[in-house]
Amino acid sequence: MRWTEEDIKILKEKYPYESKEVLESLLNRKWETIKKKAWELGLERRNSWKKVVKERPVKWSKELLEDLYWKKGYSIREIAKILGRNEKTVIQHMKAYGIPRRNVYQARYGKLTVDSLTPEEFAYLAGFLDADGSITIDTNGRKNPRVIIRFFNTDLNVINWIRSKLKRNYYRQYSGSPISKKKQYQIAIQKSIDVYYLLKGMLPYLIVKRKEAEKAIQLLEKSLKKYKVI
């Protein structure tokens, strides 16, 4: 994405003291991209930026709160910490702007832990899923369908790459088969919103498991819309 004059102006003004989350929201870019541009412009962060945040007036806006609460999925407590204000003040501003609160289902399942993947990364993941992965759909006796994506591989480097992209802290390890004797590793994704996001992103690149993915997306979409998660 090309940096506009307005983007540069915001970066110069906000970079020294704004929190990472607010900068990402204002500039609609990843933190690494923002840091690289700031370095090119010779900008520096203040060591005491957290103190500055508490002392300076917050420029409240409906767009900022909606982005942090609904799009980014932060809690009231997290937003208060980001903006350097207390939770009561955040709630008051949300009410004033008419921003609704999440219901129980949205609060529990609506925050993405997998996000900001590039088309190239989705393509790589689709290749791994087609070759050595699985999509499990369970609707038996369930009010809402359960869909699980599993990635299998014998190469730990591949598993660690997938783990870093999907923000997973763990994987399962299995003993090797009598023939190959190679250990096998597995990463499972089962949070509904994450599974939905991943399948939607991988769909254009899937071949073998495309029909399974389309069915899973349809089921998840119906469930997530029912509870206003998407």
- The whole-number pLDDT of residue 179 equals 64
- The whole-number pLDDT of residue 178 equals 64
Exposed/middle/buried for 42, CB within 10 Å: 0-12, 13-18, 19+?
Answer: exposed
Show me where the domains of the chain are located.
5-109, 119-226
Count of CB atoms within 10 A of residue 211's CB?
10
Query: What is the tens place of the pLDDT at every residue in 184-196?
Result: 899 999 888 889 9
Spatial strand order of the sheet with 146-153 comes to 133-138, 146-153, 184-189, 172-174
Give me the CATH code for the 119-226 domain, please.
Answer: 3.10.28.10
What's the token pair of residue 66?
């909606």
What's the token pair of residue 44?
């520096």
Distance CA 129, CA 151 (A): 6
- The whole-number pLDDT of residue 133 equals 95
- The whole-number pLDDT of residue 16 equals 78
Query: What is the tens place of the pLDDT at every residue in 196-228?
Result: 999 999 999 999 999 999 999 999 999 888 877
Query: Structure pTM?
Result: 0.60
Distance CA 171, CA 67 (A): 32
Q: Which residues of the chain have pLDDT under 50?
A: 48-55
Would you say how long the chain is, in residues?
230
Exposed/middle/buried for 196, CB within 10 Å: 0-12, 13-18, 19+?
Answer: buried
